Amino acid sequence: MCALDVRPAVATERLLLRGPTAADVAPIAELANDLGVAGMTSRLPYPYGQDDAEAFVGSVARMNPRTEAVFAVEHRQFGVVGVLGFHERAPGRSELGYWFGRPFWGRGYATEAVTGALRWAKGDWRRNVVWAGHFADNRASSQVLCKAGFLYTGDVEPRPCAGRNGQAVPTRMMVWLA
């Protein structure tokens, strides 16, 4: 890593979104190793160990910053509470994904982080359209995305869920239009 860290950071009222570092491996491994968390994301395997977290942090360092951006979501008091990222599923199609550790559910952190990330995506990353999807059985994520301004596209796609043994889960697609 170069001395001058040029990776972006976003500050919200209670949270800081910044690039994940080696110091985040332990809290990420602890929070992600929860079927209630992994079962609502497409990528997180379950069980989730220290090596998974290390591999994840390593993969973020190799990402192309023009097409992908991943943030560790850090609470100003409690440290890392979750992870949020934009991935390119198809050329020019940025898709938002996130997860938050169970102790930090129900306090509006996800909405705050997503809102801050969208502000960054529009202002600094110059994105006018961001996609997202939530598993049809994930009401909390539906509320987060609606509050952040996402609209249902009307499409429901089967998406594999690593935490549910790769089983395809109906995913309601949403879009955010700047």
Partner 1 sequence: MTAASSRRSAASGHALPVQAAIVVAGVVAMAAAGRFSIPIGPVPITLQTYALFVLAGLFGGRLGLGIVLAWLACAAFGLPVLAGGAGGWKALVGHTAGFLAGMAAAAYVCGRGAERAKGWPSLVALFAAGHVIVLAVGWAGLASFMSPGPAFETGIQPLLLGAAAKSLAAALTVRLVSR
| 177 is a site residue for partner 1 (CB under 8 A) | yes
Tell me the two tokens of residue 105. 């559910």
How far apart CA 83 and CA 63 sit, in angstroms, is 15
Place of tokens 């890593």: 1
Place of tokens 């910053």: 65
Q: Which residues contact 27 (CB under 8 A, 6 or more apart)?
A: 79, 80, 101
| 128 is a site residue for partner 1 (CB under 8 A) | yes
Nearer to partner 1, 35 or 178 (CB): 178
- In the list 11, 140, 152, 158, the residue contacting partner 1 (rule: CB under 8 A) is 152
Over 26-51, what HEC string results?
HHHHHHHCCHHHHCCCCCCCCCCCHH
Decide: 29 and 50 in contact? Cβ < 8 Å. Answer: yes
Nearer to partner 1, 71 or 150 (CB): 150
| 151 is a site residue for partner 1 (CB under 8 A) | yes
Stretch that binds partner 1, among 13-21, 79-87, 96-104, 126-134 (CB under 8 A): 126-134
Stretch that binds partner 1, among 14-22, 38-46, 125-133, 137-145 (CB under 8 A): 125-133
Q: How far is the CB of 158 from partner 1 (least distance, A)?
A: 17
The footprint of partner 1 (CB under 8 A) covers 126, 128-129, 151-155, 175, 177-178
